[in-house]
A = this chain, B = another copy of it.
């Protein structure tokens, strides 16, 4: 029914614009979910995901839902009634973890931090003597803050470490195995440059052994899902549910693009774009929100100047430049902007465009 196609410059907290390869793959003929040709695509997607996760985990696969489904999968497969979950909260997605863990029956021990600051691994690790899981967000999409997951991994003890990598995967260094991540989930619509709809997921063999054997969710039961993704070593592929074949083909194409460019180069591109944006914003006299040593390159948070109408600026950008930036999250909805430089958008032209457009919008909105 849509007749006019509008191109949006997507510089919000996600979705980002997609890699051209990802869009092109969506236009390919659809394959059956059990077709040998599709299984090859799925296998390549899983292998590509292992590389961006920095893991050798056999059970690394795209779940058939968005990043929040990945979050739910992480908890329903690891905690059940009475298990203790220590959760580091320094933004909206840490909050969401608490809610999802509670619904999975866990006794939630939340460790609150100021929004805009990274988590304190020592405080998190000391919050409970014997949790079943410890969970933290690597890159908080709500605040633009990067936390040190490797440090938390060293302190986790016998707990399983759950990590949200939604806004880091495919754009920032992410070394699940080296850092001690036992269960990780992410999204496709940020640095991976794919439309939203899949949740890249990984779980170590050791965590799989300690998983909840009869999780409350059938749809997200990793014990069943691994069979279809062919991840359970030596086992035959079994039907679980009809895989979202078009989205998986799109993910596979984007991963091919990212790995062909090279993870180091992609990360350097994100780092450079983020830094240039942050420098430019400060040169305009704006104040960044996230703590100085913990700023995400992929997502920059900046305070709305005093006297400026946040929503009016965002509307001005959308109407005049077809350019989207994000409002702040939670209590910062009208006092912070969130500006993403992700996937194909992490480049010098994006920086020039955003800075120039924002400058005009602040002056005229």
Contacts and interface: CB of A to CB of B under 8 A. Distances in A.
A255 B218 CA distance: 29
Interface in A1-18: 1-2, 5-8, 10, 12, 14-15, 17-18
Interface string A18-36: 1000011111111111011
A32 B195 CA distance: 10
A252 interface: yes
B23 A252 contact: no
Interface stretch (A146-154, A171-179, A243-251, A272-280): A243-251
Query: Assembly of this chain: how many copies?
Result: 2
B15 A33 contact: yes
A99 interface: yes
B26 A246 contact: yes
A164 interface: no
B256 A214 contact: no
Contacts of A6: 29, 31, 37
12 contacts: A8-B30, A8-B32, A10-B30, A10-B31, A18-B30, A24-B27, A26-B27, A30-B195, A66-B244, A103-B214, A195-B245, A196-B243
B246 A197 contact: yes
A41 interface: yes
Given A28-B2, A67-B242, A247 B195 contact: yes
Interface of A: 1-2, 5-8, 10, 12, 14-15, 17-18, 23-33, 35-37, 41, 44, 64-69, 71-72, 96, 99-100, 103-104, 187, 189, 195-197, 214-219, 240-247, 249-250, 252-253, 255-256, 318, 324
B219 A65 contact: yes
Given A65-B219, A252-B1, A196 B96 contact: no
B197 A253 contact: no
A244 B195 contact: yes
Given A196-B244, A197-B246, A242-B15, A28 B5 contact: yes
The listed residue with most B CB atoms (<10 A of its CB), out of A197, A250, A318, is: A197
B2 A29 contact: no
